[in-house]
Amino acid sequence: MSSLAELQARALKEIREAADLEGLKRVEQVYLGKKGELRQQLGQLSSLPKEERPAFGKAVNDCKLAISEALEERERELQAAELTARLSGEGFDPTEPGQPFETGTLHPISQITEELVDVFQGLGFSWLDGPEVEFEYYNFDALGIPGDHPARESHDTFWLKDGNVLRTHTSPVQIRAMERFGAPLSVIVPGRCFRNETVDASHEHTFYQMEGLMVGRDISVSHLVYTMKTCLREILKRDIEIRLRPGYFPFVEPGFELDVNCPFCGGIGSPDCKNCKVCKQSGWIEMLPCGMVHPDVLRSGGLDPEEWTGFAFGLGLQRLVMVRYGVNDIRDFTGGDLRFLRQFTRV
Amino acid sequence: MLISLNWLQRYVDLSGLSPEKIADDLTLTTAETEGIHPFGEALAQILVAKVIDCGPHPEADKLSVTKVDAGTGELLQIVCGAPNVAKGQTVPVILPGRRLPDGTKIKKGKLRGQVSHGMICSERELGLSDEHKGILVLDTDLAPGSPLTEAIPVRDVLIEIDNKSINHRPDLWGHYGFARELSAIYGRPLADPLLGRSLDLPQEGETLALSIDVPSEACPRYIGAIAHKIRIQSAPDWMRYLLIAVGQRPINNIVDLTNFLMLDLGQPMHAFDLHAIRGQRISVRFAKEGETMKTLDGEERVLEPSDLLICDAEGPVALAGIMGGENSMVSGDTQSLFLESANFHPATVRRSSARLGLRTDSSARFEKSLDPSLAEEAAKKFLSLLPEVSPGAILAGPLQDPSAWTYEPKRVHLRTERASRILGIQLEESKVRSILEPLGFELTKEDEKSFIVGIPSWRATKDIGIEEDLIEEIGRSYRYDNIPEKAPLRRVQAPYRDPELWTLRKIRHILAEDCAMNEVYNYSFLGDELCERLGLTDLPYAEVTNAIASHYTRLRRDLLPGLFGSMALNLGPQDQVALFECGKGYRPDQAGETRVDPETGQTRSLPQEVHQVVGLIASRKDKGAYSLLRGRLEHLLTRLGRPQFSSKLLQEAPPWMHPGRSASLHPPGDPDAPAFGSIGELHPRILQNLDLDLGEDQAAAFCLDLRSLLAVPEQPLSYRPVPKYPEQPVDLAFLAPEGLQVATLTKLLKEANPKLVQGVRLFEVYRGKGLPEGKKSLNFTVTLCSPKRTLEAKDEERYINRVRDLARELGAELRG
Ligand SMILES: [Zn+2]
């Protein structure tokens, strides 16, 4: 019996001293395993007198129970210690960056185009396209800019050998859309345009514009104001003020310039406006030309101006990107220098 | 253009209005203002002073030494070089430390040993005229020390107008037009342009033989008049000060008077020296071929028959509406003059001035379609001011006006309801009237709902012609910023979705986001250098006749050449690039849209515009560009719902593609149908011509034709239930002859047991070391699975044996 007590004491001591779960497993093997000490003790049972056997059997069982309990308890202790150790966070640097992987980018003009398309799609406008090489008729005549009109000169047109032009604006698609879809009509036409200008940091012979056109039974200036305000609020991601002032474009009547309160200083009345170089202290920046579609343009599109009225606008896309991100050289948009393009990581 | 508030003030009372308010109101109703510039601040720095004493300089004959009271409490010694300085004069003095209007800082100095505490100024030094013979002597009782601006009322505020914003408004090229606008804006009365001056025109007297020998369209009006006893001198102070303020340098009374009227009423005029007019006649005619004339800037001009001329009996004396001739200009000796106040055809003036590179204030105004009535008004104003400007001048004869031009007011129908409908506001008739009448429109009621509006002559030349023009007048005066915003009410309708545009948008995202490629934009022009380097000069191009740079005349047929430019640009700083571009190529040799001009009956056609998606991968370090790119292209096609396609060796490869290592892409199962795209390695010669040191399989490109791609039917996405029994992957390696295509083996692997084979994937192709000549190693993973049971080893064995037999028939050996 004394050896059983001694065995239990020894086992409990070793259990207490087990440093980790693996050590504990070994201790368990030594005492409770198939060839463990307790089994060996039980092996002596047959050599004992019959009357002693039940008592001995019980003693061995008690011993086993005690060791098992101790093992479980120690296991819980060790598991808890291990978890605590794992949670210590040693060697963790919260500023260490992750593994980079190859990514691509969309051209910033594609990005702004998509944003605009999404906003206008939400307002029920269709996204259209038109030919980049255009008939003189659609680019000029149908828009009320006949051969000797002074506005033609400001358009610095690229003429092709076949007598066609590289479109100088997206406005020809106004006529094409009316011819194709009739009225009512709400379309936007983002696209590439061309003007024969000398290229420098703020001028390009290739530029991107978005035309907008809404024609309906009673479309008025107040609808234009609402639509422009809604769209610009989405694009500029702020609550905005706009103002319309007279502006002249042959294919609208009345025509307007639309100004937005300056995004850099906040506009008139803000403390920064007095020093603002962007709006030159006026509080406004010129955003886009727009107006009510000229009756002759509606007629060119096959619509009766007595029945239908509409508004149109044109938005310069490079300028929008330049204003938003402070890009200061318009030439960066073309040619594909990845050092420029890879900075536009939004999609 | 600068407009002076002092000038405007002559015609409309602007008291109580700040320059900022006036500028804002003009911007919102009339024309864009670009700034407000105070004028004459510098002259406030200069003081009125009294010359108390004046004596000769002891060391210099031409200098005087003066003692001057400038109100500073002590007498200042100032050395003066002007011959006209004298004791008792009142003069302008600038003290040391202050600046002249031109910015020159005056310092205390010594002249030949005599200290000078400042300077007595001439008109030129004050920026008032070119007069520099002597100092300016003031006629004033002001106390010494008063600012000069109290003696000379030159202080002004100028508002800068953006000329672009008044190009369509011929009436706004003079101050009077702006005064009219402000009178309407503020509801204040407008003075008449002659400011109540009377004019006694002789009914008869001296005239020239005046004839307009061109159609009336070219010269709608030509008015002339003769005046004698002219004395060339300075113009009156008030006139010079106004001219100076708006940046017009005073020259002499007659030139200043014509300039004044141009800036006042907007009518350019020309004064000839009468004695230089030969043969007592003036005619308006077009130039003859090869004719020349010397303009008053001293340039000899070679003329063309489209140039309009003013001629005397012997030849040209002025380029009509642009510039006078040197032979007939007013000079210091002029005693008699012939005044011209005329109207010329805008496009004629514009074309001549553009061709001759001679844009003047005069031509700029005639280009805008000036009102012919203005010529008469300006002539009358000139003649009414002449006696004041040149005292003693005599009008020798009547106004000659041979064109007999009269203005019959243009009439436009205006409906109040139409104006309300377009502007989006509810207008009352009285409001319409109260807006239009102050601007000079004459309203007559036509019926219950509409007016007949008489257009004033100054708005009738090109500005106002239809009802919408009047609605614009109403809107701008009502103020667009008073129009409330309103959401359009429309029938709910799904917007039309253009398949090409929306597919393109999807493609962009797949290539950028999934395939890690960078989108670039290149010009639609194909530069000559790139074109030559790539050997593409013989193709048919749409060409620009007036290219911005001579090397940009061709329009691209394909996008890839441009993308090669981007590749070359980026392969310096980067080791590897993956680029794509979406855009249009222009094919003049392929029929595009055609249009018959209804007037001429002429047919024109546009070049076909092809929508392409192109991409490339190039690496300076690694091979495998083709496979990397092809993987991306396959992914793109899968995403677009066209995972299945067939491909074969590219026939008639474009010059930039490797003729032996490129594939064309066709609809599935139909490699003979037209291709929708191609992919391949780049031609080694192209790489060499681009100075790119790239070897085999280091650069590959693809090109998709969007329209052809969309013509390939989308393949339905077929769903397969998740297998109930485990899938068994089997790796198979073949030693195959080079001619055996992957597609053939793939087909074989599927057909060896169509029921069990769930997928076939090529995971490695190996060539080279350890393999016999002409052989390649192709390694596949085939996934076997049965829908009915778990597969056993013998199923796999049976499959492999079947594959081995089939492969052997194709000359391929299954290894291992
Ligand atoms: Zn600002």
Q: How many angstroms away from the CA of A198 is the closest CA of chain B?
A: 7
Reported confidence tier of residue B547, pLDDT bands at 50, 70, 90: confident
Q: A311-335: string of b/e by CB count within 10 Å (b at 16+)?
A: bbbbbbbbbbbbbeeebeebebbbb
pLDDT of residue B718: 83
Amino acid residing at B204: E
Residue B512 has pLDDT above 90, yes or no: yes
CATH 3.90.1150.10 fits B499-592+606-711, yes or no: no
The closest CB to that of B423, out of A153, A184, A220, belongs to A220
Q: Which residues of A touch B542 (CB under 8 A)?
A: 133, 160-162
Q: A40-69: string of b/e by CB count within 10 Å (b at 16+)?
A: ebeeeeeeeeeeeeeebeebbeebbeebee
CATH 3.30.930.10 fits A108-344, yes or no: yes
pLDDT of residue A35: 85
Percent of chain B with pLDDT over 70: 100
Reported confidence tier of residue B713, pLDDT bands at 50, 70, 90: very high
Q: What is the CATH number of domain B2-40+156-186?
A: 3.30.56.10
Query: Which residues 599-628 of B have a C-beta within 8 angstroms of A?
Result: 604-607, 609
ipTM of the modeled complex? 0.87
Contact check, Cβ <8 Å, A243/B480: yes
pLDDT digits (tens, 9 = 90+) for B184-206: 999 999 999 999 888 888 888 99
Superfamily grouping for domain B41-151: Nucleic acid-binding proteins (2.40.50.140)
pLDDT of residue B201: 86
Structure tokens at A34: 């198939």
pLDDT of residue A347: 58
Contact check, Cβ <8 Å, A339/B573: yes
Interface contacts (A, B; CB < 8 Å): 244
Q: Report chain B's mean pLDDT, rounded to a whole number.
A: 93
Interface with chain B: mutation pick from A133, A170, A214, highest number of B CBs within 10 Å:
A133
pLDDT of residue B102: 84
* B496/A contact by beta carbon, under 8 A: yes
User: Could you tell me where in chain B the CATH 3.30.70.380 domains are found?
Assistant: 728-815
- CATH fold label, B209-395: Phenylalanyl-tRNA Synthetase; Chain B, domain 3 (3.50.40)
Residue A327 has pLDDT above 70, yes or no: yes
Reported confidence tier of residue B153, pLDDT bands at 50, 70, 90: confident
* B160/A contact by beta carbon, under 8 A: no
Q: Which residues of B touch A165 (CB under 8 A)?
A: none
pLDDT of residue A322: 87
The closest CB to that of A336, out of B484, B486, B522, belongs to B522
Contact check, Cβ <8 Å, B548/A184: no
The mean per-residue pLDDT over the stretch A152-164 comes to 85
**Quick one: A199 exposed, middle or buried, by C-beta within 10 A (0-12, 13-18, 19+)?**
middle
Residue A216 has pLDDT above 80, yes or no: yes
Q: Output the CA angle B728-B733-B737, nearest 5 degrees.
A: 145
User: Could you tell me where in chain B the CATH 3.30.56.10 domains are found?
Assistant: 2-40+156-186, 410-478
The mean per-residue pLDDT over the stretch B667-690 comes to 95
Q: Which residues of B touch A223 (CB under 8 A)?
A: 424, 486-488
Reported confidence tier of residue B340, pLDDT bands at 50, 70, 90: very high
* B346/A contact by beta carbon, under 8 A: yes
Reported confidence tier of residue A154, pLDDT bands at 50, 70, 90: low
The mean per-residue pLDDT over the stretch B228-234 comes to 94
- Mean pLDDT is lowest, of A33-37, A306-310, B326-330, B390-394, for A33-37
Structure tokens at B197: 């001056």
Across the strands, what pairs with B64? Answer: B56, B80
- Residue bearing the bigger pLDDT, A42 or A211: A211
Is the separation of the CB atoms in A3 and A42 below 8 Å? no
Reported confidence tier of residue B527, pLDDT bands at 50, 70, 90: confident
* B466/A contact by beta carbon, under 8 A: yes
Residue B195 CA from chain centroid, whole number: 40
The mean per-residue pLDDT over the stretch B656-684 comes to 96
The mean per-residue pLDDT over the stretch B223-246 comes to 93
pLDDT of residue A328: 84
The mean per-residue pLDDT over the stretch B69-79 comes to 92
Highest mean pLDDT: which range of A47-51, A85-89, B54-58, B410-414: B410-414
User: Could you tell me where in chain B the CATH 2.40.50.140 domains are found?
Assistant: 41-151
Structure tokens at B744: 């053939």
Contact check, Cβ <8 Å, B519/A158: no
Contact check, Cβ <8 Å, A333/B521: yes
Q: What is the CATH number of domain B410-478?
A: 3.30.56.10
Helices marked H in B424-553 — which ranges? 429-436, 457-460, 467-478, 499-509, 528-533
The mean per-residue pLDDT over the stretch A212-219 comes to 96
Reported confidence tier of residue B54, pLDDT bands at 50, 70, 90: very high
Reported confidence tier of residue A46, pLDDT bands at 50, 70, 90: confident
The mean per-residue pLDDT over the stretch B680-686 comes to 95
Reported confidence tier of residue B792, pLDDT bands at 50, 70, 90: very high
pLDDT of residue B572: 79
The closest CB to that of B498, out of A129, A197, A246, belongs to A129
- CATH fold label, B728-815: Alpha-Beta Plaits (3.30.70)
- Mean pLDDT is lowest, of A16-20, B131-135, B646-650, B679-683, for B131-135
- Mean pLDDT is lowest, of A276-280, B6-10, B434-438, B469-473, for A276-280
* Helix A53-86 with A2-17: angle, nearest 10 deg: 10
- Mean pLDDT is lowest, of A51-55, A143-147, A152-156, A254-258, for A152-156
Cis peptide upstream of residue B754 (ω within 30 degrees of 0): no
d(CA A24, CA A44): 26
User: Could you tell me where in chain B the CATH 3.50.40.10 domains are found?
Assistant: 209-395
Contact check, Cβ <8 Å, A292/B27: no
Q: How many angstroms away from the CA of B708 is the closest CA of chain A?
A: 18
- Three-class SS string for B631-648? HHHHHHHHHCCCCCCEEE
Residue A9 has pLDDT above 60, yes or no: yes
- The residues whose Cβ lies within 5 A of ligand 1, an ion, are A 262, 264-265, 276, 278-279
Residue A245 has pLDDT above 60, yes or no: yes
pTM of the predicted model as reported, rounded to 2 decimal places: 0.86
- Residue bearing the bigger pLDDT, B816 or B430: B430
Cα dihedral across residues B514, B515, B519, B525: positive or negative: negative
The contacts of residue B276 (CB under 8 Å, 6+ apart) are B317, B327, B328, B329
Using CA atoms in the order B234, B239, B241, B246, what is the torsion angle rounded to 10 degrees? -120
Reported confidence tier of residue B636, pLDDT bands at 50, 70, 90: very high
Across the strands, what pairs with A30? Answer: none
Interface with chain A: mutation pick from B508, B513, B529, B596, highest number of A CBs within 10 Å:
B508
The closest CB to that of A336, out of B28, B496, B569, belongs to B569
Contact check, Cβ <8 Å, A221/B496: no
pLDDT of residue B813: 93
